Amino acid sequence: MKIKTYFFLGLFFVSSLLMAQEKRISGVVKGEDGLPLMGVNIFIENTNKGTQTDFDGNYTIMASPQDVLVYSFVGFKNIKRTVGQETTINVELISDTTLEEVVVVGFGKQSKRKVTDNIASVSSSDINQIPIASMQGALTGKAAGVQITQINGKVEGGVKMRIRGVSSISSSQEPLYVIDGMPLINDDESVSEAPINPLISLNPNDIESIQILKDASSAAIYGARGTNGVVLITTKQGKSGKTRVSLNTSTGWSEATNKVKWLNAEQYVELFTEASANSYGAEDTWLTEAGGYFDWMSNGKDWRTGEVDTNWQDYALVKGSVQDHNFSISGGNEKTLSFISGGYNNTEGIVRGNSLDRYSFRGNLDHKISDKFRVGLNTGLSKTKISRIGTDNSFSTPLQAIAQSPLTPAYLDDGITPNNETSIYYNFLMEEFNGNWDVNIFRVLLNSYLEYQLLPELSFKTEFGYDNNNQTEEYFAGSLTQSASTNGYADANAIQSDKYNISNYFTYIQTFNEDYDFEFVGGMSFEESSRKRQYVAGTGFPSDDLQTVESASEITAGTSSRTKYNFLSYFGRATFSIMDKYLIKGSLRYDGSSRFGAANRYGVFPAASVGWIISEEDFIKDSETISLLKLRGSYGVTGNAGIGNFASLGLFGGTAYNQKSGLSPVQLGNPDLKWEKTNQIDIGLDFGILNNRISGEVDYYVKKTNDLLLNEPIPGTSGYTSITRNVGSLVNKGFEFVLNTDNFSSENLTWKTSLNLSTLENEVTDLPSGDIVAGRNIVREGETISSFYLVEYAGVDPANGNALFYKNTLNTDGSLDKTTTSNYNEAQRIISGSPYPTLMAGLTNTLSFYNFDFSFTLQGEWGSSLYNEGGKFQSGNARYEDNQTVDQLDRWQNPGDITNVPQARMYSTNGQQASTRYLEKSDFIRLRNLSFGYTFPRDLTQKFSVDRLRLYFTGINLLTFTDYSGYDPESSYDNLGNSNIEKGITFYSSPPAKTFTIGLNIDL
């Protein structure tokens, strides 16, 4: 080896001597704008000799006359110069306008110009500056027809992404997430009913772009899982040229977007004294007498003199903080590209005791073995630690503290021990004081590929992907908590989910006669997902310092389980374009899944789309005004397989009685179970006016789902409550409108605006089994899925303060009887609203002015309502002992009073029943994010070898405009986070955070 090296070195010297005429050539490479270009590759044609330009675009290279220098730079046309007598060669590179925007599609890429599908693209610059822990959160408001809602203000909280509405009643409503070709595990593994966002372990800073496949034609290549849309995530890759080191660090603070006004001690005493008098007579002074209930509450403090006035809300909703630090190293050469990044995120939630720490690492590598062979490996590792709090439906969750009386001191006299002695409900502060609940999530994502160019027009790619989600949740409640009777309680829950995916496919690209471009992609993929769980719980702890189950004196529960499912798929897609004007695409996917009965195991999912680039036609081609006009239409079939792994089978499961084993029927079988199929039509128009200064898209779609996978309720008299069947259909339809404008563009000032609008109309069109009512929501033929189904509140009888309800019984003529009654059981429920918005909009403005940049996104939703399930306790005219919202002071007091709040009657129901009294419109417009930055002049930072130094401020959820009177129009009940039907319900649900951060971008 060594000898060889010396030999070559020797040869080199000899050759240099022989080429004595070689001389030093230097020069500057600039762009069209006259600015120097850094990292331009310059090499001598047909040799390995080359160099790059430095920061100022300068280069030097040894070359001989007649050598051809090739200047190449990404995004610019290559330029060749033959060396003559000169020693200085200055070059101006011209940007390559033929290089079109490329979008990632399933199993490949496509020029955006030729795409005939509806795909929303979001780039890294849209999301990287938003220091939000969840990837989905950063997308909110950026894409038309995509609704993204975090369930509530808990940092790990589940996120719902609804692409073009809800297409399933009982099957999954979540899109398929694919990262670098690998379908992601997206199962909530929370041990409590409150979901944990399964994608919380991804670092949004590693994302290069996100494509959201919305129509059937684009999503059908993912066949059985395409109905809810597909989210393709591409991570950042190295770029050839100078190695770039980037640092992004930000820090900030946060608080709740909103607080609600509650009664203070004086008001509480006033209202409840009156409520008791109304129920038991003023002579019964059990509340106010010495040693009475108020004295008990105030635990030795004197409520009469105002010695105690606890604002429980301020104990629950606290100031939070955010820290986000990322570095990345990106570089490479002709053969090898690499990207390495590390990130740390620390989010202290706005709800007391809730926090998140995430450490992440990514290494992406691409290597060209030869002109024909390419390999790549993308690896992502992360560890996420979350400190959790109880679900919305638990006394241990902070926000339930708002139910406590303001007369109850939060702490005992020592100021340290939470007062659990005289609180009406369990004092949540005890959980922090004497308990612990941590989750650790380890996630490994790996995607590797090997690509071989068989022929110039034919390539083969094999991809192997692996995703491992390893989650351990540990809970401890000490001897002072709700587990006092057993001297402490601890449990541990461990989940190991993993998935591997193998895809093999050929890509064939051929151009015939210059005018006919043909591309074919065809192949197969196999995917297997398995999940294991172990759980153990114990009670009786010798000390509150010993918090793991090992120290438990008794093991009270334990379980372990294993499950698996897989998909086997074949797919093919052909695209054909004629004269760059007429575009045709067809695809077919054949999917098999272990989840379905043997008879219906496979499904076929075809799709087709056509496009016509009108602006290429002669009659319009030379138009000054119109730069792009493309008409496209697509149709396709997608499926949904988001049901239980064994949904088609009748099942018995193991149980125990008296610690002896038992067998319990847990599921009724349905061997006929098959895929839920969605047919979707999309017609769209893409346009660009005035050299694309104004561009946009208009789409109309109709998405019809048949053979709904429905957990159909059946009479409990059968011994079961539901069965999964393929019955019914529903339709989503709507308009989507995107408009991008370059409002102003000059050297020192640019201003761009992007607006998206979408409408959504959802209707259940066929439901042979009849209404499905779940809680406050109903699925009914002819109505929006999950419509609210409530008794209609009619206010207060001015004569006696009774709550009134509209009867709404059917009159003989078919109309509703709008007379009122105070007897709730006489009133019928009616459809009274929808939890889904019918109109959504996002507006992003981006400005740069000299070295300043400024952008903000406004987002709005209209047409939905929220039902406050906690309303009966919180705003229930003092029926229960719970503290009340201040509006309850408007209660009816004397005959003739006109108000909406009935007479306060302690322990006696008067208007607290479920009704539209607790239903409210939740329209809002929100300043979703805002950032303001300043980039220091380059000649200044260059002195410190810094290419770019930017200081910025970012704000999230800074302003919310809404008439909604509760905590937040977007926060909902996390116990129902995984419910498909029970939507739009809130119950002690914390508002999201309003975050302010300042940060620095440093590029070296």
Partner 1 sequence: MKKSNYISIIMSLLTISFMACDDNLNIEPEQNLSPEVATESPANVKKILNNIYAVARDNSSYGGGIALASELIGNAGGISWNGTYVQPAEYNEKAILSDNSFVEGIWINAYDISNEANIVLSSLSVFTDTSEKDLVEGEAKFLRGLAYFDLARLYSKTYVPGSQNSQPAVPIVLTAVLNSSVIEYPSRNILEEVYSQVISDLTDAYNLLPSSNDIYATKYSAAALLARVYLEKGDYDNARAMANDVINNSGAELTATFDGAFNNEENSVEDLFAWQVTSQDASSNDFNVFWAGSEFGGRNGNPDVSIKEQHFAIYNDPNDDRALYFYVTARGTATTKWQNQFGNISFLRLAEMYLVRAESNFRKGTSIGATSLNDINLLRARANANLYNSINLTTILMERKRELAFEGFALFDAKRLGENVGSIPYSANRLVLPIPLREMDVNPNLTQNEGY
894-909 b/e with 16+ CB inside 10 Å = b?
A: eeeeebebbbbbbeee
Question: Closest distance between partner 1 and the C-beta of residue 323, in Å?
Answer: 37
Distance, in Å, from the CA atom of 651 to the CA atom of 643, rounded to the nearest integer, reads 15
Q: Give the integer Cα–Cα distance in Å for 435 and 488.
A: 9
Q: In whole angstroms, what is the distance from residue 426 CA to residue 432 CA?
A: 13
Handedness of CA 971, 973, 979, 982 (dihedral sign): negative
**Site for partner 1 contains 487 (CB under 8 A):** no
Q: Quick check: 662 binds partner 1 (CB under 8 A)?
A: yes
- Answer for which of 243, 267, 311, 482 binds partner 1 (CB under 8 A) is 482
Binding of partner 1 at residue 65 (CB under 8 A)?
A: no
Residue 665 or 937: the one with the smaller Cβ distance to partner 1 is 665
- Contact between 661 and partner 1 per CB under 8 A: yes
The window from 37-45, 302-310, 643-651, 959-967 that contacts partner 1 (CB under 8 A) reads 643-651
- Residue 281's SS3 state is coil
Query: Applying CB under 8 A, does 370 fall inside the site for partner 1?
Result: no
In the set 666, 810, 959, 998, which binds partner 1 (CB under 8 A)? 666
The piece of 16-24, 277-285, 682-690, 712-720 that touches partner 1 (CB under 8 A) is 712-720
Minimum CB distance to partner 1, residue 62 (Å): 37
Stretch that binds partner 1, among 315-323, 423-431, 755-763, 964-972 (CB under 8 A): 423-431
Binding residue for partner 1, selected from 65, 75, 542, 654, defined by CB under 8 A:
654
Which of 411, 452, 576, 934 lies at the binding interface for partner 1 (CB under 8 A)? 452
Establish if 593 lies at the interface with partner 1 (CB under 8 A).
yes
**Interaction of residue 447 with partner 1, rule CB under 8 A:** no
Beta bridge partners of 891: 901
Give the Å distances, CA to CA, from 379 to 127, 181, 182, 202, 375.
21, 13, 12, 12, 13
Nearer to partner 1, 25 or 709 (CB): 709
Q: In this structure, are residues 923 and 969 in contact, taking their beta carbons and an 8 Å threshold?
A: yes
**The binder of partner 1 chosen from 11, 14, 19, 454 (CB under 8 A):** 454
Whether the Cβ atoms of residue 946 and residue 1002 lie closer than 8 Å to each other: yes
CB of 845 to partner 1, least distance (A): 48
Given candidates 5, 21, 658, 894, which one binds partner 1 under the rule CB under 8 A? 658
C-alpha to C-alpha distance for 418 and 694, rounded to whole angstroms: 61
- Reading the block at residue 816, the tokens are 């509703």
Q: Please identify, among the stretches 57-65, 148-156, 417-425, 543-551, the one whose residues bind partner 1 according to the rule CB under 8 A.
A: 417-425
Question: Please, what's the largest Cα pairwise distance for the chain?
Answer: 118
Q: Residue 770: count other Cβ atoms within 10 Å of its Cβ.
A: 11
Q: What are phi and psi of 304, to 5 degrees?
A: -70, -30
Nearer to partner 1, 825 or 894 (CB): 825
Q: How many residues bind partner 1 (CB under 8 A)?
A: 84
Q: How many CA atoms lie less than 13 Å away from 709 in the CB half-sphere?
A: 27
How near is the Cβ of 663 to partner 1 at its closest, in Å? 4
Is position 809 an interface residue for partner 1 (rule: CB under 8 A)?
Answer: no
The answer to whether residue 4 forms part of the interface with partner 1 (CB under 8 A) is: no
Binding mask 891-920 for partner 1 (x = CB under 8 A): ----------------xxx---xx------
- Residue 327 · residue 307 · CB < 8 Å: no
CA 402 – CA 194 distance, rounded (Å) = 20
Of the candidates 567, 642, 565, 639, the one whose C-alpha atom is nearest the C-alpha of residue 604 is 639
Return the ∠ at Cα 212 (arms to 750 and 960), rounded to 5°: 60
Among 660, 813, 939, 943, binds partner 1 (CB under 8 A): 660
Cα–Cα distance between 587 and 605 in angstroms, integer? 8
| Amino acid at site 931 | S
d(CA 702, CA 736): 12
Q: How far is the CB of 779 from partner 1 (least distance, A)?
A: 11
| Tokens matching residue 644 | 């239980």
Of residues 820-879, which lie at the interface with partner 1 (CB under 8 A)? 824-825, 872
Give the footprint of partner 1 on residues 929-948 (CB under 8 A).
none
Q: How far is the CB of 379 from partner 1 (least distance, A)?
A: 23
Collapse the DSSP code of 20 into the 3-class scheme (helix H, G, I; strand E, B; otherwise coil) and give the result: coil
- Regarding beta strands 749-759 and 839-849, do their DSSP bridges make them parallel or antiparallel, or are they unpaired? antiparallel
Binding of partner 1 by 670 (CB under 8 A): yes
Q: Which conformational region is residue 552 in: left (phi greater than 0), alpha (psi within -120 to 50 degrees), or beta? A: beta
Instruction: Give the nearer residue to partner 1 in terms of CB position, either 425 or 442.
Output: 425
> Do residues 934 and 852 touch, judged by C-beta distance below 8 A?
yes
On whether the CB atoms of residues 705 and 677 are closer than 8 A, the answer is yes
Q: Which CB atom, from 87 or from 553, has the smaller least distance to partner 1?
A: 553
Nearest CB to partner 1, comparing residues 125 and 563: 563
Site for partner 1 in 173-202 (CB under 8 A): none
CB 739 within 8 A of CB 687: no
As measured in angstroms, the least distance from the Cβ of 986 to partner 1 is 17
We find the least distance from the C-beta atom of residue 991 to partner 1, in angstroms, to be 23
Give the shortest CB-819-to-partner 1 separation in angstroms. Answer: 19
Among 82, 511, 655, 851, binds partner 1 (CB under 8 A): 655
Q: Residue 219 is encoded by which pair of tokens?
A: 């999503």
The interface with partner 1 within residues 214-253 (CB under 8 A) comprises none
663 binds partner 1 (CB under 8 A): yes
Contacts of 813 (CB under 8 A, 6+ apart): none
Q: Which residue, 396 or 754, has its beta carbon nearer to partner 1? A: 396
Per CB under 8 A, 604 contacts partner 1: no
Evaluate the CA torsion angle 962, 964, 965, 966 in order and state its sign. negative
- In one-letter notation, the amino acid at residue 918 is Y
Q: Which of 56, 302, 421, 963 binds partner 1 (CB under 8 A)?
A: 421
619 binds partner 1 (CB under 8 A): no
Residues 742-801 that bind partner 1 (CB under 8 A): 770-773
* 9 or 666: CB nearest partner 1: 666
Eight-class DSSP state of 270: H
Nearer to partner 1 by Cβ, of 542 and 937: the residue is 542
Per-residue x/- track, 533-552, partner 1 (CB under 8 A): ------x-------------
Task: Work out which of 46, 485, 746, 812 binds partner 1, going by CB under 8 A.
Answer: 485
Cβ nearer to partner 1, comparing 634 with 667:
667
Please name the amino acid found at residue 723: I
Q: Report in angstroms how near the CB of residue 417 gets to partner 1 at its nearest.
A: 15
Is the CB of residue 835 less than 8 Å from the CB of residue 848? no
Give the one residue of 3, 97, 370, 562 binding partner 1; rule: CB under 8 A: 562
Task: Please identify which residue in 281, 715, 814, 896 interacts with partner 1, judged by CB under 8 A.
Answer: 715
664 is a contact residue toward partner 1 (CB under 8 A)? yes
- Min separation Cβ 586 and partner 1, Å: 21
Among 375, 509, 568, 1004, binds partner 1 (CB under 8 A): 568
Backbone angles phi, psi at 345, to 5 degrees: -130, 130
By CB under 8 A, is residue 590 in contact with partner 1? no
CB 555 within 8 A of CB 492: no
Q: Distances from the Cα of 787 to the Cαs of 518, 722, 777, 781, 824, in angstroms? A: 47, 20, 5, 11, 21
352 touches 432 (CB < 8 A): yes
Q: Which among 405, 420, 426 is positioned nearest to 264, based on CA atoms?
A: 405
Which listed residue (88, 97, 98, 659) binds partner 1 by CB under 8 A? 659
Provide the minimum distance between the beta carbon of 784 and partner 1 in the complex, in angstroms, as a whole number. 18
